[in-house]
C-alpha cells in the first residue's frame, strides 16, 4: 500500500510538471524576472536535474553533490526539455516499478563531500528532496509564465486561464 501511494503521488506530480513544461515559450528561454533569478530555460533545466536526482535516489544509496557540476547549461529548446524530461520519467517509472517496500525504507544519504546534508529512508528522500523540491521550482515556473502572459495550466484543478478569468 505504501508503494502505491508513493508511485501515485510521483506520477501525478510528474504529469503536472510536464504540463507546465509544454508551455515553455522558446522566444523567452533566456528571460529572467530578476537579476538574481534563474532564466526561464535555466529553471526548466533545473526541473530536469531534479528528476535526475530522483532517479539517483533509487540507483544509489547516496548522492554526493560535490561530484556533480554546480549549474548545468540551460537547454535552449522546449523540444529538448520535453525529450529529456520524458526519457527520465520513463526511467523513474521503471525504477519505481522495480523497487519494493524494503528498498523504499532503505536509508539514503545526501552529502556534499564529507558533509552529510540529510540521511533518511528513500521514500522520504523521494518526497522531500525529489518531488517537493520539484513542485517548488515548478511553481516558480508558473509565476514566470504568468509574468510573460503565457497561459498557466491547471495543476490541481483548473487555472484562471482555463476558467477564462
pLDDT of residue 164: 62
Residue 34 neighbours by CB under 8 Å, 6+ apart: none
**What are the cell numbers at 104?**
523504499
pLDDT of residue 163: 78
Alpha helices per DSSP H over 39-160? 40-59, 78-98, 101-105, 122-125, 133-147
pLDDT of residue 42: 95
pLDDT of residue 26: 94
Q: Give the CATH class of 2-147.
A: mainly alpha
Instruction: Please list the pLDDT of the chain residue by residue as tens digits (165 residues).
Output: 778 888 889 999 999 999 999 999 999 999 999 999 999 999 999 999 999 999 999 999 999 999 987 778 899 999 999 999 999 999 999 999 999 989 999 999 999 999 999 999 999 999 999 999 999 999 999 999 999 999 999 999 999 888 765
Domain spans in the chain, listed from the N-terminal domain onward:
2-147
pLDDT of residue 117: 95
Amino acid at each position: 500500500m505504501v508503494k502505491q501511494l508513493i508511485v501515485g503521488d510521483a506520477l501525478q506530480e510528474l504529469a503536472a510538471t510536464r504540463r507546465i513544461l509544454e508551455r515553455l515559450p522558446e522566444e523567452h528561454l533566456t528571460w529572467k524576472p530578476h537579476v538574481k533569478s534563474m532564466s526561464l530555460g535555466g529553471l526548466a533545466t533545473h526541473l530536469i536535474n531534479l528528476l535526475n536526482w530522483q532517479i539517483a535516489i533509487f540507483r544509489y544509496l547516496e548522492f554526493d553533490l560535490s561530484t556533480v557540476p554546480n549549474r548545468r547549461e540551460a537547454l535552449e529548446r522546449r523540444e529538448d526539455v520535453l525529450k529529456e524530461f520524458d526519457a527520465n520519467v520513463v526511467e523513474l517509472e521503471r525504477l519505481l516499478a522495480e523497487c519494493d517496500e524494503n528498498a523504499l525504507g532503505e536509508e539514503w544519504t545526501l552529502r556534499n563531500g564529507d558533509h552529510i546534508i540529510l540521511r533518511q529512508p528513500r521514500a522520504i528522500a523521494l518526497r522531500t528532496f525529489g518531488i517537493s523540491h520539484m513542485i517548488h521550482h515548478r511553481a516558480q515556473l508558473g509565476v514566470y509564465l504568468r509574468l510573460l502572459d503565457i497561459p498557466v495550466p491547471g495543476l490541481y484543478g483548473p487555472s484562471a486561464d482555463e476558467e477564462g478569468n
